[in-house]
Amino acid sequence: MDLYGKDLITICDWKIKELKKVLSLAREVKKYRFFPKYTNLLKDKTFLMVFYNPSLRTRISFEAAMTELGGHSQFLEPSKMRVKLLEVEGETVKDSATVMTRYAHGIGIRILEDAVEKYGDGDILLREYAKYCNVPIINMADDVYHPCQALADIMGVSEHLGDVKGKKLLMMWGYSPKMRSW
């Protein structure tokens, strides 16, 4: 199974066996993250991080991961780049994606509900980037999905509880004044 170049917009787009493979690799990297096999895994690779919304945990975790794996992450703030937001004046997503693709090996995008006009527009914008990019697009949270958090939650819960099949779980998040769909 080859996941090279695959976008991660929602885990719903992935097969269970693909998700299990990613989680298995994540556990291995976590365990051996400072071994030479992994410290240069992303050597000479650049990951662009486009943040339409601010974030502490998401930014730090992606930057730290790229550094620990030997790569480089670059923080981009769309308000300082003339990047168009669906109906807002600026460079089109197609133009922006074409330029970004020339300089990156992957692009992460975070766009929540307060950066868009209506629910679902962030997800639409993210998918538009994916349409025009020839490098993987990683959803670092949009107004509909948060696949990286979902995978981290699955990994964390299974590390502490083992197989969760058949178990009832309640998950809460207390650091936000807003309820989100994910």
pLDDT at 128: 93
Q: H-type helices in 76-169, by residue range?
A: 93-103, 121-132, 147-161
**Under DSSP, is residue 42 helix (H, G, I), strand (E, B) or coil?**
coil
| Domain residue ranges of the chain, discontinuous segments joined by + | 11-161
Give one word for 120, left, alpha or beta, with left for phi > 0 and alpha for psi -120 to 50.
left
pLDDT in tens, 59-102: 999 999 999 999 999 999 988 887 766 555 667 888 899 999 99
Among 150, 127, 139, residue whose Cα is nearest residue 51 = 139
Average pLDDT over residues 17-26: 95
Under 8 Å CB-to-CB from 149, ≥6 apart: which residues? Answer: 141, 182
Q: Is the pLDDT of residue 138 over 60?
A: yes
Q: Which one is predicted more confidently, 165 or 97?
A: 97
Give me the chain's average pLDDT, please. Answer: 89
As a CATH number, domain 11-161 is 3.40.50.1370
d(CA 14, CA 43): 27
Q: What is the pTM of this model?
A: 0.88
C-alpha 94: how far from chain center: 19
